[in-house]
């Protein structure tokens, strides 16, 4: 399940992501990842392939 919302909750977060999961075949690459991106910040996710 992917739940992405854009702020409005009274905090400085402009992006909230909850419970992200991703599998490739039988390999679970990401399980239950959640994050908040705060206003004015720079955020990235970089894996082995860049």
Residues 6-49: tens digit of each pLDDT: 545 556 889 999 999 999 999 998 899 999 999 999 988 888 88
Read off the pTM.
0.56
- First vs last C-alpha separation in the chain: 24
Tokens representing residue 29 in the block: 């690459």
Residue that has been written with the tokens 């910040």 in this structure? 41
Residue that has been written with the tokens 């009274």 in this structure? 10
More confident position, 50 or 2: 50
Q: CA-to-CA distance for 9 and 25, rounded, in angstroms?
A: 36
**Residue 38: what pLDDT?**
93
Q: CA-to-CA distance for 45 and 23, rounded, in angstroms?
A: 16
**Residue 12: what pLDDT?**
82
């Amino acid at each position: 399940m992917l739940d992405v919302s854009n702020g409005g909750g009274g905090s400085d977060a402009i992006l909230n992501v909850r419970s992200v999961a991703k599998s490739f075949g039988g390999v679970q690459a990401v399980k239950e990842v959640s994050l908040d991106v705060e206003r004015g910040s720079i955020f990235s996710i970089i894996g082995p392939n860049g």
